[in-house]
Structure 1
Amino acid sequence: MQAYIIETNTEAETKQLAYQLAQGLTPGDVLTLEGDLGAGKTTFTKGLGAGLGVQRVINSPTFTIVKEYMGDVPFYHMDAYRLEDSDEDIGFAEYFQQHGITVIEWAHFIADYLPADRLNIEITRIDDNRRQIKFQPTNAHFEKVCKELKA
């Protein structure tokens, strides 16, 4: 499927883009987030959570692996960075099969556990403020979401 690339010029624009993305998501959706340290993965996730009605402060779950938030639907924020070189399954499938939205930072570290149907997102830091955000859908649902986001 086609990739969709959108550039943002500020942190606020990155959050707004994620907020808009959240409007097209449905319970059970899984999103992967890749990008170097400081690329804006957690910033993007904050916007996504806001779009899903999460009222709590969202921060990186680096030391807890998974943080659960309640908004309009359950929102699961995972950070797989600490799972590099680990083959421990901490029950990923249980999260993916629930009726919430799951976002996974550093998802390539748990590639073997990821569902086939997901939206892959890669954030590239262009400079201090600008980001290139690449959306790669894996099914018709995410293709539609990306087309609407790009429009």
Structure 2
Amino acid sequence: MEFSDEASLQAFAQSLAPHLQAGDILLLDGDLGAGKTSFTKGLARGLGIADYIKSPTFTIIREYPDGTLPLYHMDLYRLENGGAGDLGLEEYFEGDGVSVVEWPDFLGEATPEDYLLIHFLKDPDDDHKRTLTFEAVGPRAKALLATIQA
């Protein structure tokens, strides 16, 4: 899927939010500035979360409990040398909300069994354009991907 600007990317994420369920896991993969946090802002808006969404790069996990579903926004960039397995992420993954994980390559053994992986690619000729591709692992993620493709 191609998006011409940040607003269209956020609108897509906002439209995805009503299809999410407790325990859904979205893994966001892409370079710095590819739109992962921007996507999460739209998702939060779609979940009815009014809080300001910012990257949890230094805190690792930010919790937003006040939507139709809680949102758990994780940024594992600082864990490139390991440590994700010590954070108890499975409590979030198996919990009552939606988990969004930036930099999922650093999950290691903490990688869940069912997730939707979203790849973010910046257009080298247009800094505003993004292309998203999707990979579904597990039955729930496959159902979610089918919803996106419909």
TM-score norm. by structure 1 comes to 0.91
**Cα pair 1:15 1:48 within 8 Å, conserved:** yes
- Of the two structures, which has the highest relative contact order with CA contacts closer than 8 Å and spacing of 6 or more? 1
User: Which of 111, 115, 122 is 2:112 aligned to?
Assistant: 115
TM-score norm. by structure 2 comes to 0.92
Q: Deviation digits for residues 64-90 of structure 1, max 9, x if unmatched?
A: 000000211111000000011123511
Tell me, in whole angstroms, the C-alpha distance in 2 between the residues paired with 1:44 and 1:147: 19
Q: Deviation digits for residues 38-77 of structure 1, max 9, x if unmatched?
A: 1000001101111111110000000100000021111100
Percent pairwise identity = 45
Is residue 87 from structure 1 mapped to residue 86 from structure 2 by the alignment? no
Q: Match for residue 46 of structure 1?
A: 41
Q: Match for residue 74 of structure 1?
A: 70
| Ranges in structure 1 where 5+ consecutive residues have no aligned partner | 1-5
More displaced stretch, 53-62 vs 85-94: 85-94
The one-letter code matched in structure 2 to 1:75 is L
**Greater than 4 Å deviation, 4+ residue runs:** none
Q: Match for residue 122 of structure 2?
A: 125
Is residue 101 from structure 1 mapped to residue 116 from structure 2 by the alignment? no
**Cα pair 1:20 1:149 within 8 Å, conserved:** no
The one-letter code matched in structure 2 to 1:85 is N
Structural RMSD (CA)? 1.2
**Cα pair 2:122 2:129 within 8 Å, conserved:** yes
2:19 partner SS = coil
**Cα pair 2:114 2:139 within 8 Å, conserved:** no
Q: Match for residue 31 of structure 1?
A: 26
| Ranges in structure 2 where 5+ consecutive residues have no aligned partner | none
**How many residues in Structure 1 have an aligned counterpart in Structure 2?**
146
- Map 1:60-71 → 2, pairs under 5 A: 60-70=55-65, 71=67
Tell me, in whole angstroms, the C-alpha distance in 1 between the residues paired with 2:43 and 2:108: 22
Tell me, in whole angstroms, the C-alpha distance in 2 between the residues paired with 1:21 and 1:146: 10
Tell me, in whole angstroms, the C-alpha distance in 2 between the residues paired with 1:19 and 1:114: 25
